[in-house]
A and B are shown apart, each in its own frame.
Chain A
Amino acid sequence: MKHLLETKGLTVDIAGQRVCTRLDLEIDAGECWALLGRNGTGKTTLLHHLAGLRQDHSGTILLGGNELSTLTPRRRAQHTAVLLQHSSRGFGASVLDTVLTGRHPHLATLAWENASDLTIARQCIAALGLEALAERSLETLSGGELRRVEIARLLAQQSPVSLLDEPTNHLDLAHQATCLRTLQKQCVTEQNAMLLVVHDLNLAFRACDHWLILNGGGSWQAGPRDALCDPELLSLAYGHPISRINSDSGPLFLARL
């Protein structure tokens, strides 16, 4: 069986530091993965490698059974959408135009976006609750609104795999929940796969069914969430005591002060 995203013996270094040693990962349709770890363990770096934005690794990355390094950038972008950690307002284009750029990998060189591209963009804008802002310039948006525009652009790309670097940056509590809910729903109904870098273990627990934890120095743990959400294991990974409290709405994770 072909996995949507698979790594075999992937070893990644950045600036002389090991991110992961011989990482074997199999991500299938409908799965939502959280990428967890301390600051500076290389979560963003690993995400960039999986997205094909960096190539200096050993081992292989397979996208839908095809080796990533053999795909053209365009084919790669048709298969994988990326939400970068840092937002950009560009030169101030409108929300709708920005979301439409998500269609780029699907359009031929001189083609213009057609009616169906426009419909897709408008649907994604609606899914993130941005209808009222569609004609606004990115320069006039708040940080949280801008983040939602970028998530809408990612959805407009309609790719089987989505890699999101801290999607909840700048979002208030309510929007954190609704955005992750939207992404999660997309993942299940479209049978896509998603990997997101998050810092909030509670969000990671609620939104993701699988976890990948980078411990620093190259060691990692990956698998179903329930096997990995152990407070002792998390305390080791974060180098800080973390307790798990059972509540009516599921377990809660707290870093002790």
Chain B
Amino acid sequence: MRARRRNLLLLLNLLLAGASLSLSLMIGSVDIPATEVWSHLLSNDGSINDRIVDQLRLPRVLTAFAVGGLLALAGALMQVLLRNPLGDPYVLGVSGGAATAVLTAMLLSLPSVWYTPAAAVGALFSTLLVFGLTRSGDDWHSDRLLLTGIVVAAGWSALISFVLSVSPASQLPGMLFWLMGDLADANKPGLPLTLLAVGLTLAFLRARDLNIATQGLLQAAALGIDTRRLRLELYFLAALLTAAAVTAAGAVGFVGLVTPHLIRRLGGYDHRVLLPAATLLGGSLLVLADTAARTLISPMQLPVGVLTAMIGVPVFLFLLHRRVRR
């Protein structure tokens, strides 16, 4: 009975992932039927549709899936670390640090190959900054981590506003797109997918520890978990996953916040189910959102972050409302 519910939840998310990936490969400025998509994926006939599927849609769809998965997984880990089921992967100021670095690179008119490394450096710098400010001796509390993260993020946000206000008007649209989270230039799924696989494996090894850590770190210690190590692992794993996502697609909001919570709503409290299920769901949601972003008002493309926020805000408020009412 218990095992059946678990498997059902995983199966549903697996099916959703398959469906969203297929759909996203089919839909676009040219609609390509499913059977044709498969033949293009499996063989190369040199046609335009073949190139659309293999070179344009597939890399973008896979990147979207990886980014969504990374954010959902990071969100699930951050929620345990902060002991708050509504925690967010951006709470460590990762997105702010990355955005400040990328916007500065844009302001200095550096070539666009510098954007990705700049985002990675900015994200990791902010992670270390928040960590350094939060740690005092052995003891660091989730409340203090949350507050430090919020204040550092506010600092980044001020710097971002500064860069935006001194930037020439011609550069503003590019900057704004980056800030909102955009997959238009996302065509290198290799690294994010690899990091997602590694991150999910590492997190899964800790899944039962995470179940207990939701009951409090002291309780986790009482049940024989080395909580200092667990916290460090959670912190840096979540930060790395978020940094990878932000580097690939900018600050896409709400996926990391809402997805783990949705899985819990469906009964997935056990992290051995929650982690893989949330990863799959996060990936699927971002793939669907990105498909909508590039087709809704085509030929214009929306930044995907606009769509995730427009969907995420009402969903989040609904979940919050249900939580309070119970």
Contacts and interface: CB of A to CB of B under 8 A. Distances in A.
A81 B225 CA distance: 13
Contacts of A109: 205, 208
Contacts, number: 65
B-side interface size class: 20 to 34
Nearest to B209: A104
Nearest to B85: A91
Interface in B205-244: 205, 208, 211-212, 214-216, 218-219, 221-226
Nearest to A75: B224
Q: Pick from B205, B218, B223 the residue with the most CB of A within 10 Å.
A: B223
A140 B326 contact: yes
Nearest to A108: B208
A24 to B, nearest CB: 25
Interface stretch (A30-38, A94-102, A184-192): A94-102
A51 interface: yes
B269 interface: yes
A110 B223 contact: no
A209 to B, nearest CB: 25
B223 A105 contact: yes
A88 B225 CA distance: 17
B222 A82 contact: yes
Interface in A45-99: 51, 53, 72-78, 81-82, 84, 88, 90-94, 97-98
Contact of A73 (B85, B214, B216, B225): B225
Given A73-B221, A88-B219, A90-B215, 19 more contacts: A53-B218, A73-B226, A74-B224, A75-B224, A76-B224, A81-B222, A84-B218, A88-B215, A91-B85, A91-B269, A92-B269, A97-B211, A98-B215, A101-B223, A104-B223, A107-B208, A109-B205, A109-B208, A110-B205
Interface of A: 51, 53, 72-78, 81-82, 84, 88, 90-94, 97-98, 101-102, 104-105, 107, 109-110, 112, 139-140, 157
